[in-house]
Structure 1
Amino acid sequence: MKRKLTELASWLEASGQLLEDITVTGATIDSRNIKKGELFIPFRGEHANGHAYVRSAFENGAAASLWLSDEPNPPEDIPLLFVEDAEIALQQLARSYREQLTCKVIGVTGSNGKTSTKDLLASVLGEEFTVRKTEGNFNNELGMPLTILALEEETEVAVLEMGMSGFGEISFLSKLAKPDIAIITNIGEAHMQDLGSREGIAKAKFEIIEGLSQNGTFYYDGDEPLLTALVNQHPELDAHAFGCGDACDLSAKDIQVTEQGSRFTVSGQIEGHFVIPVYGEHQVKNALAAMLVAKKLGMTEDAIRSALLNAVLTPMRMQPVTAKSGALFINDAYNAAPTSLRAALTFIGQTELRHDKWVVLGDMLELGQDERHFHESVADQLANLQLKGIALYGPRMHWLYDELLARKTDVELIWTENDYAPIVGKLLESINDQSIILLKGSRGMALENVLKGVLETEA
């Protein structure tokens, strides 16, 4: 964004001071990381008042700042816009700027795979377009407006990730972003404690169509009956399904794991053989969404094939890391829910990359009153994987540990509540160049520390 401060005042219908000849080139809510020319937006919270940092924001390069109308003693020597509510003002700025952008906007949501799909879209489309995407976890009611305001005028495609924890949130983000293309990657069990059921989760995710442009296109997981049922209720939608089922508009078959990643064959709206440099059937399905969008925007199948092969994903999503010992770690520690955990375990069960198989699992969070059942039920799948070892971390994983003990499994089994060291030690004494180790847990469990411990000790 590059706009005169007087224009921002008009967008907000706000009064101000010293507005003339000031140009704003973005917005931030963090005075410590402000870039020259940005608008500082001070928030007033329980533990801190952002107005106390307005001066330092200017010292760090801010061009102007918002100021809440009921906040006393505004400084008189710096450019200010006076507003009633900082959050609403931020969102209104993004809404007004979005109206002026000419880029294609792609909105992505889902229980799992949002970030991987966003990364695949940005990698593939980036071969032919100027693409910007949501960075980090800027996917909520504050992060998305900041992402929109950071878009350059010359951006051709913006890939916006949309996160949520309850009803109404995706609707709000979708109406703010006004996507030309909307994607739901899948429906899992994350946020079950807030939404009550998978049906509730599906309804909340499906809110993404509420801001879809009049001639917009919707892509969804065609293997999920809950989404198919919702799509059938909206015959007006230009909807296309991706997945592994024959009824999908783009279907993946013959998924094979190689040292280079996942090789697969597709049929439907695109035909042929493709490779992505990441593991797992669920990642293949994420790639299908990116392929459909790329074709929609005019890319050839050969261009899509080449771009997928060189795609770069955010770390800790089925990320292969080879230790000094030659052991292969699959770092999928960014997050976990029952659906994504089952997918990762399916990969470990099917892979022939290594034959000495370990899994390191951390607690799955935000599962509500059925969380014990979800943890204990993993034992059924683990029993069929021919593993050498299972390491469990976190208080909830003790339910799974007890379940496995009751089954008298002969697999090496270790549980620790809050200390990574016993797991690191067990791995160091057990793994070698024939080992493959899956790391999977919710973000709050930070299982990448197990990998870090192994790599630092080996060094």
Structure 2
Amino acid sequence: MTFSLPHIISILDAKTVGTFNNFTIENVSIDSRSLQNSTGTLFFALKGLNHDAHEYIKTLISKGVQYFVVEFIPEGLEQKANFIIVSDTKIALQQTAKYYRSLFNFPIIGITGSNGKTIVKEWLNFLLSPDFSVVRSPKSYNSQVGVPLSIFGINENHNLGIFEAGISLKGEMSILEEIIEPSIGILTHFGTAHAEGFTSEKEKLEEKLSLFKNCKTVILEANKEIENLLQNNPFTWSFSDQSASVYFEKNGSQLKVIFNNTTFEVTVPFQDEISLKNIATCITTLLFLKVSTQKITERIPKLFPVEIRLEAKKGINNCVLIDDSYSSDYQSIKIALDFLEQQKLHKKKTIILSDVFQSGLPIDVLYEKVGRVLQNNNIDRIIVIGETISSYLKDLPNVISFNSTIDFLKQFNTQSFQNETILIKGARSFNFDEIVVLLEEKKHETVLEIDLDALTHNLNFYKSKLNPETKIMVMVKAFGYGNGGFEIAKLLEHLKINYLGVAFADEGVELRKAGISIPIMVMNPEMHSFSTMIAYDLEPEIYSINELNEFVKIAQQKNVASYPIHIKIDTGMHRLGFEKPQLEQLIAILKETNLVEVKSIFSHLATSDDTSFRAFTLEQYKRYTEASEQIVKNLKSKPILHILNTSGIFNYPEFQLNMVRLGIGLYGVGNSDEENQKLQNVSTLKSIISQIREVLPEESVGYGRKFRVTNRMKIATIPIGYADGIRRAWGNEKGFVSINDQKATILGNICMDMLMVDITNIDCQEGDEVIIFGKSPTVVEMAKTLDTIPYEILTSISQRVKRIFFKN
């Protein structure tokens, strides 16, 4: 992608400050944190409810970026760079993408629907790439910002595009239609997802169909109601309606395809209903594009499970793995490198990269770009696999090359990978999953998956309740509420959080050792850990005179001055903190020493989650205000003031002061149904079915014969138990798991390492996935049944359960 600016400036009706005639755009960026930002970058400073990229322009200029699309020029930067000034930077990004799309004239397939968009797109890319030079949306880039960024991946060598479009509000699809300009439309499954932005299912359907208003044809499952809403020619498929353009009959692993009086059979690699419908959509699209039946029968059996997310996994020898072992194209390489930078635990970064496909670029141009982006990301070791990439990148520093994956595996040495973050990025044909198996720490059948996109969504939801200037401290104590400490802390640092909060000093030490540099407050500091805290730049909560005196003593021994501390006021929780009679003595000590500096004054609301105690909460706030004002007045300083926790942010945003403390809500658990509806599930505990057996009447299940069988039944054994954090009280038919979206009741006592469930009426087999908690059951449901709180459910999950972090 290279194009110049003068015409874009006129389209945007923009004012300019600087010189633009000699600038050629090599990269469009909206992420100030990306290491790919360089002298060839055009940066769009997007503003949202919870962020403003204008704040990072000064830093970007220091990194070499000189061209910006902005809504205003930050003070003092007028002469430091070149600025295109517009009224709305997001609209400017969309209009720029629309202009760039207009420079190309080849067929574009536009895909929308409630489910299956990304799978159909990836399968079509695989099926059509031998015949076309395909450009497609990377990952699931289908939003108001993702679609424009996808369009910038087009170049003059492509002759077919496949772009997906997703919406959540009325009016959004017409914007995406003008950017994509599809000539062929595909509607995948239409369902209830993202319905909250619409008044009815019909309104949502009509909005989605507006993507196709200028298409020559629309490919969809035969449905008269939907077809009647289309203004173009439908090209339909069906398993039940023989009048459809393409008719399918399933027979075991074979699909009989009937089209234009021609019949042929295809072997399908998947048997579930959703996959069969996606395969039918793909075959119908291939037939519309006049792909031969021979090619269809050859390629369909080779379809593969689509991984649309990037995963961070624990590797051997204290390594972290970023698993992206199924695709290798230039656009997705850039995305994966950004994820590597977000999730790196260690300073050392390694990439294992295969030959790069599907770029549409001349091969020398492609690898010149690949080499440059690798160098921009400061990769310490570059392992390339493939004859082509080896020949083109051999002269780069730190490159080790192999002609094939087999050659790499022959020379594989586990000790050559130590304390580093490794991105594994390869085209499917290179079988990099074999490398992942070798580098990944021993796999477990039970894992806790943490959705980093959902975590970011939840953070932004609470940010929307706050003033732009309000700081945020995020609590990552108790191993990130059971989800993982430094991995989540790394993301939060990437998202520019102001403070992290931990319970004990050793948690903070581990974060510092993992490379976390933002301020960390220790909420329950033990006096014996004060020296350690100073050594690792951790800031203590001070809640008593004795504790303050001891810390001042240690600070003097360590020869530090103005060390940041946080004063805790007890306003009614009666757990820790200074009470009113102690304030004069506290102030006297603070005035007499320059060894410490009051960084913040805070308190904790006892009932912010229960509005029936509003009067008590208001009294707490009054006590806090009086105490903090007394301290501030006497110290003549301006410390950060904060009292709100998660439920406080939701119920009492008027008390946000200078900072708030976000805890359990970040992890997808609110304190009311209304709050929970706004949050996304972050943690999903998964296992598998180890064994299935039939049990006859009068037999029993588990220890103590707590469950007696009355009718013949099937039970499944799941390898997870109370040693993994599943409370025994969840057994004996109180609790359940989900298998293939169906409830499977837990029978008998939960064992230390196993539990048994009823699958009599569930179609499943050994090895099938089991959801212990996530969307169903939720940790909120479990907590209600067990008469506890979600905190206890999450923090009880044992450290022996492997954590996997992923981002779509």
What band does the TM-score fall into relative to the shorter chain?
0.5 to 0.7
Q: Is the Cα contact below 8 Å between 2:135 and 2:153 reproduced in 1?
A: no
Closer/same/farther in 2, CA of residues 435 and 290 from structure 1, 3 Å limit: same
For 2:217 and 2:117, how far apart are their aligned partners in 1?
Answer: 17
How far 1:159 sits from its partner (Å)? 1.2
CA contact (8 A) 2:220 2:234 kept: yes
* Aligned positions of 1:190-339 closer than 5 A: 190-210=193-213, 212-213=214-215, 216-222=216-222, 225=223, 228-234=224-230, 236-247=231-242, 248-256=244-252, 263-269=254-260, 271-315=263-307
Task: Say which of 136, 141, 165 aligns to 2:139.
Answer: 136
Against the structure 1 CA distance between its residues 56 and 297, is the aligned structure 2 distance closer, same or farther, given a 3 Å change threshold?
A: farther
Partner of 2:3: 3
Displacement of 1:119 in angstroms is 1.1
Distance 1:101 1:115 in 2: 23
Report if the CA contact (8 A) 2:186-2:219 is conserved: yes
Q: 2:135, 2:161 within 8 Å by CA — same for their partners in 1?
A: yes
Once the two structures are overlaid, the 10-residue window that deviates more, 86-95 or 264-273, is: 264-273
Q: Which amino acid aligns with 1:288?
A: A
Distance 1:251 1:367 in 2: 43
| Structure 1 residue 123: Cα displacement | 1.0
* Contact 1:110/1:205 (<8 A) preserved: yes
Q: CA deviation at 1:38?
A: 2.5
* 1:93, distance to aligned residue in structure 2 (A): 0.2
Q: 2:427 matched to 1:436?
A: no
Q: What secondary structure, in the 3-state scheme, does the structure 2 residue paired with 1:240 have?
A: strand
Q: CA deviation at 1:99?
A: 1.2
Which amino acid in structure 2 is aligned with residue 25 of structure 1? E
Q: What is the CA–CA distance in structure 2 between the aligned matches of 1:456 and 1:328, rounded to whole Å?
A: 9
CA–CA distance in 2 between the matches of 1:164 and 1:77? 38
Query: What's the secondary structure of 2:240's corresponding residue?
Result: coil
> Residue 344 of structure 1 aligns with which residue?
none
- Which residue number in structure 2 is paired with residue 110 of structure 1? 113
In angstroms, what is the RMSD of aligned CA positions?
4.8
Q: Percent identity?
A: 22
Which of 121, 126, 131 matches 2:124? 121
- Quote the residue 1:388 is aligned against: 716
Question: SS of the residue aligned with 2:169?
Answer: coil
Letter in 2 for 1:32: R
Could you tell me how far apart the structure 1 residues matched to 2:75 and 2:743 are?
68
Q: Give the SS at the match of 1:100.
A: coil
Q: Is 1:180 matched up with 2:172?
A: no
For residue 54 of structure 2, what is the amino acid of its counterpart? H
Residue 70 to residue 32, structure 1, CA distance change in 2 (3 Å) = closer
Separation in 2, partners of 1:445, 1:157:
43
Tell me if the contact between 1:252 and 1:266 (Cα under 8 Å) persists in the aligned partners. Answer: yes
What is the alpha-carbon distance in structure 2 between the residues aligned to residue 444 and residue 413 of structure 1?
12
| Among candidates 21, 42, 45, match of residue 42 of structure 1 | 45
Distance of aligned partners of 1:402 and 1:198 in 2 relative to their CA distance in 1, 3 Å threshold: farther
Q: What number of residue pairs does the alignment pair up?
A: 376
Deviations along 1:346-367, one digit per CA (max 9) or x if unpaired, are: xxxxxxxxxxxxxxxxx9x999
Which residue of structure 2 aligns with residue 339 of structure 1? none
Task: Label 1:204 to 1:52 Cα distance change in 2 as closer, same or farther (>3 A).
Answer: same
Instruction: State the structure with more CA Rg.
Output: 2
**Deviation (angstroms), 1:10:** 2.8
Structure 1 contact 252–267 (Cα < 8 Å) conserved: yes
Q: Aligned partners of 1:276 and 1:13: how far apart in 2?
A: 52
- Find the residue that maps to 1:138 and give its secondary structure: coil
The structure-2 alpha-carbon separation of the partners of 1:386 and 1:148, relative to structure 1 and needing over 3 Å to count, comes to farther
Q: Is the 8 A contact 1:98 1:148 kept in 2?
A: yes
Summarize deviations over 1:373-394 as a string: whole Å, max 9, x none.
Answer: xxxxxxxxxxxx9663799xxx
Gaps of 5+ in 1: 258-262, 336-362, 369-384, 392-397, 415-421
Deviation (angstroms), 1:325? 10
Deviation of the 1:58 alpha carbon:
4.3
2:29 equivalent in structure 1 = 28
Distance in structure 2 (CA, Å) of the matches to 1:128 and 1:60 = 41
Corresponding residue of 2:57? 54
Q: Secondary structure at the match of 2:768?
A: strand
1:290-317 Cα offsets, whole Å, 9 max, x none, are 2222233332222223232333443279
Shift of 1:132: 1.9
Write the distance in 1 (CA, Å) between the matches of 2:115 and 2:77.
45
Indicate which of 81, 97, 102 corresponds to 1:99.
102
For structure 2, the 5+ residue unaligned runs are: 310-325, 327-432, 454-668, 678-712, 721-729, 759-764, 780-793
Q: Which amino acid is 1:249 matched to?
A: S
Task: Look up the equivalent residue of 2:275 and give its one-letter code.
Answer: Q
Alignment check: 8 A CA contact 1:189 1:201 kept: no
Please state how far the C-alpha of 1:402 moved relative to its aligned partner: 7.4
Aligned residue type for 1:180:
S
Give the letter aligned to residue 18 of structure 1: T
8 Å contact 2:135–2:158 — kept in the other structure? Answer: yes
Deviations 1:387-435 (A, max 9, x none): 63799xxxxxx9xx97989xxx996528xxxxxxx999547999xxx71
Change (3 A) 1:423 1:237: farther
Q: Which residue of 2 aligns with 1:15?
A: 15
Partner letter of residue 188 of structure 2?
A: T
The aligned counterpart of 1:342 is none
Task: Name the aligned partner's letter for residue 239 of structure 2.
Answer: C
Q: Distance in 2 between matches of 1:189 and 1:143?
A: 22
In the alignment, the residues of structure 1 paired with residue 743 and residue 226 of structure 2 have an alpha-carbon distance, to the nearest angstrom, of 45
Residue deviations 1:96-152 (CA, integer Å, cap 9, x gap): 111111232111111111111111111111121111221233211111011112222
Residue type matched to 2:274 in 1? H
8 Å contact kept, 1:28–1:38: yes
Which residue in 2 is equivalent to 1:161? Answer: 164
TM-score, normalisation: structure 2: 0.40
Higher relative contact order (CA 8 A, sep 6+): 1
Which amino acid letter does the alignment assign opposite residue 293 of structure 2?
A: E
- Cα 1:309/1:167, change in 2 over 3 Å: same
Residue by residue, what CA displacement relative to the aligned partner does 1:333-356 show, whole Å, maximum 9, x if unpaired?
999xxxxxxxxxxxxxxxxxxxxx
Give distance in 2, aligned partners of 1:453 and 1:59: 44
In 1, Cα distance between equivalents of 2:150 and 2:207: 22
CA contact (8 A) 1:42 1:50 kept: yes
1:14 Cα offset (Å): 2.2
Q: Any conservation in 1 of the 2:746–2:756 contact (CA below 8 Å)? A: no
Q: Secondary structure at the match of 1:202?
A: helix
Give the secondary structure class of the aligned counterpart of 2:33: helix
Aligned counterparts of 1:424 and 1:218: Cα–Cα separation in 2: 55
Q: What pairs with 1:372-451 in structure 2 (closer than 5 Å)?
A: 388=716, 412-413=745-746, 425-426=753-754, 435-438=766-769
